[in-house]
Structure 1
Amino acid sequence: MIYVLLSVCCSVIVSVLLKLARRYSIDIFQAIAWNYSIAMLLTWLFYKPHLSSLQAEPMYLYGVLAVLLPVLFVIIGLSVKITGIVRTDIAQRLSLFIPLIAAFLLFNETFTWIKFAGLLIGVFAIICSIPWQKQDANGGPAPANSWIYLVVVFLGMGVIDVLFKQVALFKTVPYTTSLFAIYGLAFVISQVILLFMVATKRIKFTIRHIFFGWVLGIANFGNILFYLKAHQALSGNPSTVFSAMNIGVITLGALIGLIVFKEKLSALNKFGIILAIVAIVVIAYSQTH
């Protein structure tokens, strides 16, 4: 379970870094653009991807993911800043319902009443987690329709998860090789956009954004590395890894958000955290029954 704990910590560190970005005047897009360079390097060092096998992979999936990943990363950063770590982590974790629904609709997977119960609880958890009050996570006035960020994070993470599952179906290419290719494309696309924005003087390039992006990339890669290792170490209990990871992120994220960053949550929001944990437990149970 040590790998699960390390994966949880890395995932929450990403949210904390995005929260701190505003405090230290870090441009989120620049940091995210550079995050993919270190993710590529670490994937190369740890997994030695077989680039020759990429000829068998449909590049359109890589391209779509390479665009969606940095775009959603920026939205997650804005969501963390506006709605807080707690709500954003819940939206990310509950996005697992989308691939579950896709498995039922697209891949003819058996849909049980237990799974339906988990989905229903998750829907209520999302509703309860939305900041209906007129304050943001820091206690100040919330921007109009701030809940939209949570909905986009929820939908975006779900779609990306479905696409990654599609990538994993192509057994002719190792999954880590696909990750390397996707990171590479995301880095190239991000750099093209970054160069354009610097050339048109919409943003100002500074070295500190590179270093912040590298720290972000290390945490982002660590999340994936330890998650995969957890599944390898507990190959007979994938539902244990699944539930422990998601519950751990929600719980640790909530503790840090409430204690360290003093995020403001209503009683309804706190109830939403409990419902989110219950929903994940129910869905994890449904995977083995």
Structure 2
Amino acid sequence: MFPIFLAVVFSVTVSVLLKLARRADVDIVQAVATNYIVASLMAWQVLGATPRAAMDAPATWPALVALGILLPAIFVVLAHSVRTAGIVRTDVAQRLSFFISLFAAFVFLGDTLTSRKAIGIALALVAVGCVLWRKRSGEKGGGWAPLLVFAGFGAIDICFKLVAQAGAGFASALLAAFLIALVPCWIVALGRAATGKAPLAWRHIGFGVLLGACNFANILFYVKAHVALPDSPSLVFASMNVGVVALGTVVGALGFREKLTVTNWLGLALALAAIAVMS
């Protein structure tokens, strides 16, 4: 269970870093661009990954290109969401995004809809609504950012499933997606630097190195948990998602004094229930 614990800690750490980025006056575009350099190097060195298996299968290309666009875009949205809507709402939205890919699995990928899956999806949708609900619609940090996190991570999960269906291994697909994501990230970062909007600075790049290490560590230990418990994928799934929701709530509510309403707490309970149903 220790790999799961580490995966949970690094997942929440990524959210905390994104929360602190604005306070530290970090350019998030440069940080995210650097993050993908670090993550690519670590995937190559730690996992022994090469992008060849993914790139040699033409059926993977559309999904990989989509990942190359979605991954950096969702990172920027994630950063905006944790700053405005808070760590708690953002982490719950990210964790529940699994249900989007679950819905897509039986609509587009030939999976079978069972009563358990239907209940889980229904609970997840209600949970998202409750967690993102605010008393005043005009209140700062409205629900659109975490809603985009919910939709974006769901789309990313679908893309990885499509790549896997095409026969590419996870490590190869992950590295290929990271390398493709580098291109638009650095085009934007260098363009902003050239126009003087956000000159390149070691502060932003150093922050990106830390962000990339934590981002990759989250993925690495989640994979290690599945390897350590090959016969208990539901246990890994439940432990990871419940752990992130619980730790994210503690860090957000206590560490950053994020205010939650009764409806938000109900949404958290429903989120945990949805995860339990699927496990």
Aligned position for 2:15 = 15
Structure 1 letter corresponding to 2:144: I
Aligned position for 1:120 = 122
Equivalent-residue separation in structure 2 for 1:51 and 1:261 (angstroms): 39
Aligned position for 2:189 = 194
Equivalent pair of 1:104/1:111 in contact (CA under 8 Å):
yes
Query: What's the CA shift string for 1:230-266, capped at 9, x where partnerless?
Result: 1111110101101111110000000000111111111
What pairs with 1:77-92 in structure 2 (closer than 5 Å)?
77-92=79-94
- Deviation of 1:103 after TM superposition, in Å, equals 1.1
1:130 to 129, 132, 139: 132
Distance 1:209 1:98, change over 3 A: same
Equivalent-residue separation in structure 2 for 1:135 and 1:108 (angstroms): 39
Equivalent-residue separation in structure 2 for 1:105 and 1:221 (angstroms): 31
Aligned position for 1:287 = none
- Deviation of 1:51 after TM superposition, in Å, equals 4.3
The answer on 1:95 being equivalent to 2:97 is yes
- Deviation of 1:81 after TM superposition, in Å, equals 0.3
**Residue correspondences, number:** 277
Query: What's the CA shift string for 1:130-185, capped at 9, x where partnerless?
Result: 1422499xxxx515xx21112111111101100011111233x3321121111111
What pairs with 1:210-289 in structure 2 (closer than 5 Å)?
210-284=205-279
Aligned position for 1:170 = 166
* Greater Cα offset, 101-110 or 229-238: 101-110
Equivalent-residue separation in structure 2 for 1:24 and 1:160 (angstroms): 29
Percentage of pairs with the same residue? 42
Q: TM-score if structure 2 supplies the norm length?
A: 0.95
Q: Which runs of 5+ in 2 are unaligned?
A: none
Query: What's the CA shift string for 1:59-109, capped at 9, x where partnerless?
Result: 222111011100111001000000000000010011111111111111222
Equivalent pair of 1:83/1:131 in contact (CA under 8 Å):
no
Equivalent-residue separation in structure 2 for 1:35 and 1:170 (angstroms): 27
Structure 2 letter corresponding to 1:194: A
Equivalent-residue separation in structure 2 for 1:13 and 1:168 (angstroms): 28
State the superposition RMSD in angstroms.
1.5
What pairs with 1:137-156 in structure 2 (closer than 5 Å)?
141-142=139-140, 146-156=142-152
The answer on 1:204 being equivalent to 2:199 is yes
Equivalent pair of 1:134/1:142 in contact (CA under 8 Å):
no
Aligned position for 1:31 = 31
- Deviation of 1:114 after TM superposition, in Å, equals 1.5
* Greater Cα offset, 174-183 or 228-237: 174-183
Q: Which runs of 5+ in 1 are unaligned?
A: 285-289
Equivalent-residue separation in structure 1 for 2:258 and 2:28 (angstroms): 20
Structure 1 letter corresponding to 2:26: I
Distance 1:259 1:189, change over 3 A: same
* Greater Cα offset, 266-275 or 50-59: 50-59
1:76 to 75, 78, 97: 78
Distance 1:18 1:52, change over 3 A: closer
